[in-house]
Amino acid sequence: MAAPSQPAPAPVEGRRRGARPRDARPRGAKPRIPASAGAPLRARWLPAALIGVAAALIACAAWLFADAFSKYAAQDSLNAELQAYVALSDDPNGAPVVDWAALEAVDPNVCAWLQVPGTSINYPIYQAEDNEYYLNTTAEGEWGIGGQVFLDCDNANPGLVDEQTLVYGHHLQNGSMFAPIAELDDQGAFDELGLLWYVTREGATQLVPLLCYRTVGTDENVRAFTWPSEDDFHAYLQALVEKAPAKAADARTLVSAASHVLTLSTCSYEEDNGRTLLVSVPAGEAARARAQA
């Protein structure tokens, strides 16, 4: 008796009868591996690593910014405390009045006060046994990014005793300390500069800007304080006049009667190890030179 006929299997949706299933492969064939699974390991961890490095760099930059801000803020705070010991006059011809006792109580090495009206330069001047101490040491004896403005250790204290008095100050990025001096090698900026005040316990001296020049930190001619003769001193100054990019209109006349100069030195960021120096002559000597011209 014939076997009863079996119903044909229902066809699989989307597949022809007799077609190989999608995951079927010939016998003995290697399994297919998705492309992503076969990619190098580096391709999978590299994006995450780059994100981690970027995050670390951002965090480091933020820390450096916060650290620098804190150091500058501390320096500004100290400067403000010291500036409380001087009374400035509204009259440009009025000398600053300094409370020397208060300044000496903070640091007995204080020797002078410098003010340049129309700029942020308004600081006490100190002198140490070397030219390193006040680079990053404050009047309170602590580390500071700007240290203090200081008189060269080889100058006669309190300044304006030798033929050249040399005073140093940092060029800080926030525009404080001696930063304004770095801009005075431009003739227009130089011409707008007013008279300077150099105040000691013995009295106050007003000074006329003579010239501004640039050099490098290794220039040995900068640290000259006395000369064998007045002619040698004048020759030194005339050489500076010749190379200075900014100078008084009658600079050569002013040099002819100069007996002293005050030179303010700061860093210049326009070249490696650069320096910008502002040279001024006492107003009395300038007046005498102009009267004799």
Mean pLDDT across the stretch 254-281? 96
**181 and 276 Cβ atoms separated by less than 8 Å:** yes
Distance between CA atoms of residues 237 and 226, nearest Å: 12
pLDDT for residue 91: 86
158 upstream amide cis, omega within 30 of 0: yes
Specify the pLDDT at position 235. 98
Domain ranges of the chain: 74-292
Question: Who contacts 113 (Cβ-Cβ below 8 Å, separation ≥6)?
Answer: 86, 96, 98, 123, 124, 125, 197, 198, 199, 200
HSE-up of 160 (CA within 13 Å, CB side)?
25
Cα separation, 80 vs 85, whole angstroms: 9
Residue whose token pair is 């190890």: 273
pLDDT digits 0-9 by tens, 78-97 = 999 999 999 999 887 899 99
Over residues 15-52, the pLDDT tens digits come to: 444 455 555 555 655 555 444 444 565 556 667 666 76
Span 172-231, pLDDT tens digits: 999 999 999 999 999 999 999 999 999 999 999 999 999 999 999 999 999 999 999 999
Domain over 74-292 is classified CATH 3.40.50.1110? no
Please choose, from the candidates 290, 66, 265, 94, the residue with its C-alpha nearest in 3D space to the C-alpha of residue 184. Answer: 265
